[in-house]
A = this chain, B = another copy of it.
Amino acid sequence: MRASRFFISTLKEAPSDAEIVSHQLMMRAGMIKRLGSGIYTYMPMGLKVIRKVEAIVREEMNHAGAIELLMPLVQPAELWQETGRWDKMGPELLRVKDRHGRDFAIQPTSEEVITDVVRSEIKSYRQIPLNFYHIQTKFRDERRPRFGLMRGREFTMKDAYSFDRDLEGMQKSYKIMFDAYTRIFTRFGLKFRAVAADNGAIGGTGSHEFHVIASTGEDALVYCPTSDYAANMEAAEAVATGARAAAGAALAKTSTPKASKCEDVAKLLGIDLKQTVKTIALTADKEDGSKQHFMLLLRGDHELNEIKASKVPGLAQNRFSTEAEILEVYGCKPGYLGPIGAKGPVTVVADRTVALMSDFVTGANEEDFHFTGANWGRDMAEPALVADLRNVVEGDASPDGKGVLAIERGIEVGHVFQLGTAYSESMQATFLDENQKPAPLQMGCYGIGITRILGAAIEQNFDDKGIIWPASLAPFELVLCPMGMDRSELVKAETEKLYNAALEAGIDVILDDRGQRPGAMFADWELIGVPHRVVIGERGLKEGNLEYQGRRDTEATAVPVAEALAFIKGKIQK
């Protein structure tokens, strides 16, 4: 490609609404252009990267036996009503009425449509397993779109759906997709991690997220450096090790004026925050209109994990108790609650760590007072329930017993999910087994955020000059920068020679024939992030050399003209 035949448009400054570096750099490099909130035109330079992402995804999906089709964007509401998602989805689902007043959804995902296709196509166990995928535009009407392609409203996703006869088959299909995803993210050249994820409300039996590692990532990834344990924060299990020490201190009601938070209490009493226990009051509204109240106890320095809390028996649907409820049930203002002498019909749920504590500090159920030296059994009953309620922290024991946990930040770019029969049952997608008996299809679904990959790759790979694309995703692998091509016949001739040789070698090369000054030209390509650059200048040529510089190199390397192509091919590994 000659730059004069392409469209290159770079900016010195990013627009002020670009909050994160990938958004800023994509705008500055002319890869995307904002059309509306969370809606972008993919400009030629950005589309080229998207096509490279798509090509790798497509190749590996095909290689894994998945079959490509294309499902519509505009989908009849009836299908979404069959699964109940028309009501459940809320305002994220963009709804539209056609000229006849019929309801449609602009697809955010395609479980309903693929299940509808499959229920009419699949009759027999002999036709499965099957895995269909498409790469298609999606729309999710995010409440607060931001971060460019990272949290847009219109985006491109690869979504795949597997259909099997039984759980074992489904898990096999899942494993095939898990392996394909591993190959895909490896080919992208990105540092990534697959982590176990919570299945969420949708049910199913297993789920993993694929994250691109980046310090700016929104998600916390938990892993054990000395084993293969990895999970996201929602799913990472916090284990408590060791045994409860014997009581050593006497229980004492202590004045803690205005210290309603554990941090304040610890400071006031001059003790370690880890000796305090905080109380979180939750309420579950039952179907008969009555309420059940829960007191969740966590160590002062730990954080509640709401997903885990919702798995405690009775807490599937819970909310924080209101101040009025707390006053009514516990007879005390929030901030001073505790398990000792708590009034009212309350279920005490202790986090695993709390259940092993002794001589701890906890609220006295009286404003401005805490108990010190509290001990289970002696000062109060053992907790009604002990559960994993908290987020893990660095240094926690790994649940597999093979080390301690570390935490890093990641950006979710893929998700594989064992759906089971949730959709096939609600939509009556069945097949006949060997005994001619109908059974629901076992489903899996598998997504990759195609356009989000761009943002994630940049968050992981940039410097103060711009983007540093991994070779497999770069809009161009190589840029040729001739110095004064219009003035020097020698430069022109050698540039054209190298350009044609690179094209012939299958290198995705761009020749910058725009006639810009060296400084502006270099700044453009460093911003755009092309990984390999060759400068062709008259002075160097007279010494028989070209200048090569990798995007991460601090200095250029002189390369003899005759060896240039071989040298570049070695660098690009072509």
Interface residues of A (CB under 8 A from B): 5-7, 9, 33, 35-36, 39-44, 47, 50, 65, 67-76, 91-92, 94-96, 98-99, 104, 106, 113, 116-117, 120-121, 130, 132, 137, 139, 141, 143, 153-154
Contacts and interface: CB of A to CB of B under 8 A. Distances in A.
19 contacts: A6-B67, A7-B67, A7-B130, A35-B71, A35-B72, A35-B75, A35-B76, A39-B74, A39-B76, A41-B70, A41-B117, A43-B69, A44-B68, A44-B69, A73-B154, A91-B99, A92-B99, A95-B96, A137-B137
B143 A9 contact: no
A419 B94 CA distance: 33
Nearest to A156: B70
Contacts of A94: 74, 96, 98
A42 B136 CA distance: 12
A120 B9 CA distance: 11
Given A5-B65, A35-B116, A113-B35, A141 B73 contact: no
A47 B117 CA distance: 15
B99 A96 contact: no
Given A44-B69, A74-B94, A74-B106, 12 more contacts: A5-B67, A7-B67, A7-B69, A7-B132, A35-B71, A36-B72, A41-B72, A47-B69, A47-B70, A74-B139, A94-B98, A137-B137
A132 B70 CA distance: 25
Contact of A44 (B67, B72, B113): B67
Contacts of A141: 98-99
Given A35-B113, A96-B94, A121-B9, A47 B73 contact: no
**Closest CB pairs A-B (n = 4):** A91-B99, A96-B96, A42-B70, A36-B76
A123 to B, nearest CB: 10
Contacts of A121: 7, 9
Contacts of A113: 35, 41
A248 to B, nearest CB: 57
Nearest to A155: B72
A139 B141 CA distance: 19
A30 to B, nearest CB: 9
A143 B96 CA distance: 16
